[in-house]
Amino acid sequence: TEPVTINVKPLPDKSKPILFDGATGLFTISAEAVKNKLSRDEGDMLEVTISGKGNFVQLNAPAVQWPKGMEGFEPSIKDSLDKSASPLTGSRTYRYPFVSATAGAYTIPAITFSFFNPDSGNYKTITTGVLQVKVDNKKAAAANINQGKKKTTAKKNNSWLIGGGILLL
């Protein structure tokens, strides 16, 4: 076949946001905590979803500014994409585990995401709303450990009953 020449234009430097990380397309963003109320040392998930059409496979996880007293970890990624469409359409959800050892009301600041919209030829920056998370003074781990001990004891008692029934037979 004849060679085909493809001219790729560089992205404009004019008006490029500082937080721009290479995303190209048309996107929306949303964020929510799976639980808004939790106990000390109880883990939760912050889900940040980017939806729309564009180069999803090249997206980097948006930065989260965790408030003092709250610790966040690296996110896992869940894609819901229509790979038969070009550009890709659908959504990508980043699930950030987090925990707080101190009781209180926490505010997770708005999360910002910048992209280049090739249809308009402009950069756009979008943000989520701020999120409120309340951590009460109860320690979650102790309750879970006690429940685990009860289940283990019940399993041991069931094992004796089953073993005794087999012996009788």
Q: What pLDDT is stored for residue 111 in this prediction?
A: 97
The Cα 41–Cα 44 span in angstroms is 10
Length of the chain: 169
Instruction: Show the low-confidence residues of the chain (pLDDT under 70).
Output: 140-169
Burial of 137-148, coded b for 16+ CB within 10 Å and e otherwise, reads eeebeeeeeeee
Q: What pLDDT is stored for residue 144 in this prediction?
A: 47
Q: Which DSSP category does 56 fall into?
A: G
Q: What pLDDT is stored for residue 159 in this prediction?
A: 58
Q: What pLDDT is stored for residue 139 in this prediction?
A: 77
3-state class (DSSP) for residue 21: coil
Beta carbons of 110 and 128 less than 8 angstroms apart = yes
Distances in whole angstroms, Cα of residue 80 to Cα of each of 58, 83, 123, 158: 15, 9, 24, 43
Q: What pLDDT is stored for residue 58 in this prediction?
A: 87
